[in-house]
Amino acid sequence: MDSIPWIHREEEHFCCRSSASKVTSSALFSSGGRSCEHYRRGCRVVAPCCGEVFGCRHCHNDAKNSLEADPRDRHEIPRHEINKVQQNCSNCGACMGEYFCEICKFFDDDLSKGQYHCDGCGICRTGGADNFFHCDKCGCCYSNVLKDSHRCVERAMHHNCPVCFEYLFDSTKDISVLQCGHTIHLECMNEMRAHHHFSCPVCSRSACDMTDTWRKLDEEVAATPMPEIYLTKMVWILCNDCSATSSVRFHVLGQKCPGCSSYNTRETRAR
C-alpha cells in the first residue's frame, strides 16, 4: 500500500509561507473546530486507498468498516505507512499539534490526555507514562495498580473484545483487565453485569469478587430443601474458578465447589 500523505486543513491553516514566523497552534486555532471527534490537530490525512480526506485514521476506519455496504470495500489504514511529516509547517512554522510523535506520525493538541510513546507497544498511549508499566509477556501497557497483582496472559490485548469484537490493542475505549488476565472493553463488561453475567466470556472464570453472592446463594440453598427423590443424587462438576473436578450432591439452585466454595461450576455428568 502507498504511504499516507497528510494535508493541512485549508479552512484552518493559512500558511503565510514565511519560515521565520513561528505560529503556535493555540494562536491559529483558538476558534475551535480542530480536525475531528478523536483528536484536535492542524492537519488531516488523505487516504491513498480511496483518495478521501479524513480527520484521522479512526475516522477513516469507522467510515470504511461500518458504513461501506459492500464487504469488499471495507479496509483500514496501517498507522505507520505515512509520508514523512513534522510537527511544524516548513513554510510558516505553524504547529500541527502540541503533542507530536515522529514514530507514529501522530498529532494532538490536547495535552491533558498525557500522551506518551511506548516502545514496547510500538504505539502512543494516553494517561501519562508515570502511571503505566509495560508488561512484556502480556505485550501491552497496564496501570501501575496492576503491576504486582495482574495475571499474565500472553499477548492479552492482541485480540478482539469477546463481546463487541473490536480489536483491543489500539482501541480508544477504556479496557478492563479481568481477574483471569483476559481483557474486555469496560463498557462491554458493564453491559454484561447489567444483564447479570459475571464471568469471563473467554474462560468462564468469575470476572469479579463473588464472595457475597456465594454467601447469599448458600442461604438460598439451605432454605430450599430438595424433594426426596433427589436427596441422594450425586453429580460430577467442574469448577470454572479453580478448575477442580468434584463429586457433589445435586441441587436445583446450583452446585458448590468444595474446594473454593464457588458456585461458578458446570455439571459434567451424573454419578
227-259 tens-digit pLDDT: 999 999 999 999 999 999 999 999 999 999 999
- Tell me the C-alpha distance between 135 and 154, whole Å: 10
Q: Is the pLDDT of residue 95 over 60?
A: yes
The CA–CA distances, whole Å, from 59 to 36, 220, 257 equal 8, 51, 48
Whether residues 203 and 223 fall in one domain: no
CA pair distance 253, 258, nearest whole angstrom: 16
Average of per-residue pLDDT across 198-206: 95
Residue holding cell 480536525? Answer: 35
93 and 131, same structural domain? no
What pLDDT does residue 57 have?
Answer: 81
Note the pLDDT of residue 9.
38
Evaluate whether 137 touches 154 at the Cβ level (below 8 Å). yes
Which residues form the domain of 260? 211-270
Mean pLDDT of 42-54: 78
Q: Which of the pair, 154 or 96, is modelled with greater confidence?
A: 154
Asked whether residue 42 falls in the same domain as residue 104, the answer is: yes
Looking at the fold, whether 154 and 99 belong to one and the same domain comes out as: no
From 207, 226, 250, give the residue that closes a domain: 207
Q: Which residue has the cell 475551535?
A: 32
Torsion of CA 143, 144, 147, 151, to 10 degrees: -20
- Domain count for the chain: 3
Task: Decide: pTM greater than 0.75.
Answer: no
**Domain final position from 207, 236, 255:** 207
162, β-bridge pairs: none
> Which DSSP symbol is given to 186?
H
Domain boundary, last residue among 53, 81, 113: 113
Give residue for cell 521565520: 20
- Same-domain check for residues 67 and 91: yes
